[in-house]
Amino acid sequence: MNKIKCECGHINPEGTVLCEACGKPIEGNQHIDGNDKKLLLNMRYEGSARRSQTYRKSFVDKVWSFFSSVKVGVWLIVLALVASMIGTLFPQQQFIPPNAESRDPAVYYEAQFGMVGKIYYQLGFHEMYSSWWYLILLGLIGVSLVICSLDRFVPLYKALKIQKPRRHETFLNRQRFFSETEEVSKADIGQVKEKLRKQRYKVTEQNGHILAEKGRFSRWGPYVNHIGLIIILLAAILRSTPIMFTDEYVWVRDGETTVIPGTKGDYYVENKQFILDTHDPEDERFKDALEISGAVASNFQTDVVIYKATNNDVPGAKPELEPILTESIQMNKPAKFNGYTLYQSGYQPNEFSSMTFKIHETDDEDATAIDSFTINLFEPESEYILDNGFRAVIDQYYPDYYLDDDGIPASETNYPRNPAFVLAVYPPETSLPEVSFIGIGRNIDATGENEYKVAIQDFETHFVSGMTLRVDRTLIFFGLGAAIFMIGVIQGMYWQHRRVWIHPKNNGLLLAAHTNKNWFGLARDIEKAIEKTNIKMVEARQELDK
């Protein structure tokens, strides 16, 4: 390594721009921080020797200096920003509206948005935020964060530690705040020192050279907040593992007890009842708004009992359930047990529990029931023998009937949301059945020759509550990362690192000052300090960019 010895005697590492001790610009290195073309010195990193600016030969050097560039970092941020924007141009796959004609992404995007939509889908933009290149982009931002921070923090820390009150004249007269006063009395200098101390500056002296400094810790703010961000990115990686994160959904109808998926069969939930409250339309306060909007829900609630299965280790045994928690789950009020959290996240109104059918003569205009029977939609029997000698056999049962793409009847889910049956009715003393197809709003006579007709007489419905089970062991890391980030930004943004230098020269002095932000505040500090003295106020020489 080629160490550089400054005229003040300090030995600087290779690549130093401004001497760590006295700040004198080191010849031959000024282009690194762009000082050669400007009057003012670039004080961003105190002119310290950064690895990225010093070693640029080997492959590792090149990668290092690539990622340590703020410009590259900004580009990565801008790319992520643009990609994020594109992702909101059309709805992401999970947000395709439920009332869309087709929710199949291959169909939806083209049908809804035409050619552009098709291209959007083919480029994979409908799953933007889980696409490999979006994730790589975030990963690269992470790499850039680490390298940028290391590249700057270490030399900056050293430079600020080594800095001496005595600064080189060139360093001072190339600061943004600078003034030179010809004649100054000792008393005046003493007063300035005192006033700076009063403003909570830490004043150090070296042969009459004075350095007043405050808020140095704010310089570490950016590095602290970057640590926070890195923790958040690492937590996001952890979250993609099943140990750290579980996400399951369960539908439980009123009165039902069922195993909670994602708990390895250890826990069961009983839905005592689902409650849907709406705001009172007569409420004086909200009358006007409710008239326009119609009913507005005020509460979604499931009263649950959570059970632990005590004999889950015995294969095939009927679970023995021991209640561990009785809770009313509401929006914003999930139930917590043993690291699991159960959220209210949906409901299904009017799911059918049972249906009652009657049989009447096809020709009977009054449709007087000859006989009737009730099917429990969760436990339908295969055959119903009726009092009047009729026999009804369930030939087909579609709990959630729909016609599939080929026009064949099918069931979309196993829940009786839209039940339909193919029923074979055997009138008394016959062995030939009359077949009909019955559902909500449907009643089709298969042959058109049926003597008896089956019709829906009555039905019962119930609510089904949808609950989400989550285990997220990464939350603590996200929280930690966010907290560190906030500490870092506040440290870096709400405080400033201010320094004032006084450099005796002949009978007078040079006064210079620097801050990393809020020059206005620094100017006020100096004004206060030199009040009623002979010392000239510093001149602000900012070079604004066109």
- Which residues in the 470-509 window bind other proteins by CB under 8 A? 470, 472, 475, 478, 482, 485-486, 489-490, 493-494
Q: In angstroms, how far is CA 405 from the centroid of its own chain?
A: 38
Q: Which listed residue (204, 293, 350, 507) binds other proteins by CB under 8 A? A: 293
Assess 300 for contact with other proteins (CB under 8 A): yes
Assess 387 for contact with other proteins (CB under 8 A): no
Select 125 or 452, whichever has its Cβ closest to other proteins: 125
Select 358 or 517, whichever has its Cβ closest to other proteins: 517
Assess 288 for contact with other proteins (CB under 8 A): yes
Assess 42 for contact with other proteins (CB under 8 A): yes
β-pair type (442-445, 434-439): antiparallel
CA distance 118 to 111: 8
Select 260 or 321, whichever has its Cβ closest to other proteins: 260
Site residues for other proteins, window 92-121 (CB under 8 A)?
Answer: 92, 94-95, 97, 99-101, 112-114, 116-117
Q: Which listed residue (330, 348, 457, 461) binds other proteins by CB under 8 A? A: 330
Q: In degrees to the nearest 10, what's the CA dihedral of 80, 81, 85, 87?
A: 20
Select 194 or 283, whichever has its Cβ closest to other proteins: 283
Q: Which listed residue (5, 31, 38, 56) binds other proteins by CB under 8 A? A: 38
For residue 488, what are the CA distances in angstroms to 220, 226, 241, 377? 8, 8, 29, 60
Assess 285 for contact with other proteins (CB under 8 A): yes
HSE of 133, CA atoms in CB hemisphere, 13 A: 12
Stretch that binds other proteins, among 49-57, 85-93, 266-274, 452-460 (CB under 8 A): 85-93
CA distance 70 to 78: 12
| Shortest CB 349 distance to other proteins, Å | 15
For residue 530, what are the CA distances in angstroms to 87, 423, 537? 56, 101, 7
Site residues for other proteins, window 513-532 (CB under 8 A)?
Answer: 517-520
Instruction: Provide the 8-state DSSP code for 128.
Output: G
CA distance 118 to 359: 52
Assess 246 for contact with other proteins (CB under 8 A): no
CA distance 232 to 9: 44
Task: Give residue 511's identity as a one-letter amino acid code.
Answer: L
| Shortest CB 121 distance to other proteins, Å | 14
Assess 405 for contact with other proteins (CB under 8 A): no
Q: Which listed residue (11, 39, 63, 77) binds other proteins by CB under 8 A? A: 77
Stretch that binds other proteins, among 17-25, 84-92, 184-192, 439-447 (CB under 8 A): 84-92
Q: Which listed residue (14, 119, 129, 362) binds other proteins by CB under 8 A? A: 129
Each residue of 42-70: b (16+ CB within 10 Å) or e? bbebbbbbbbbbbbeeeeeeeebbebbbe
Stretch that binds other proteins, among 327-335, 358-366, 368-376, 395-403 (CB under 8 A): 327-335
Q: Which listed residue (88, 185, 326, 362) binds other proteins by CB under 8 A? A: 88
Q: Which listed residue (206, 258, 299, 443) binds other proteins by CB under 8 A? A: 299
Assess 237 for contact with other proteins (CB under 8 A): no
Number of shown-chain residues binding other proteins (CB under 8 A): 74
Q: Which residue has the tokens 């900004």?
A: 74
Select 63 or 116, whichever has its Cβ closest to other proteins: 116
Assess 81 for contact with other proteins (CB under 8 A): yes
CA distance 343 to 308: 18
HSE of 320, CA atoms in CB hemisphere, 13 A: 6
Nearest to 147 by CA among 66, 79, 202, 91: 66
Select 74 or 367, whichever has its Cβ closest to other proteins: 74
CA distance 525 to 504: 20
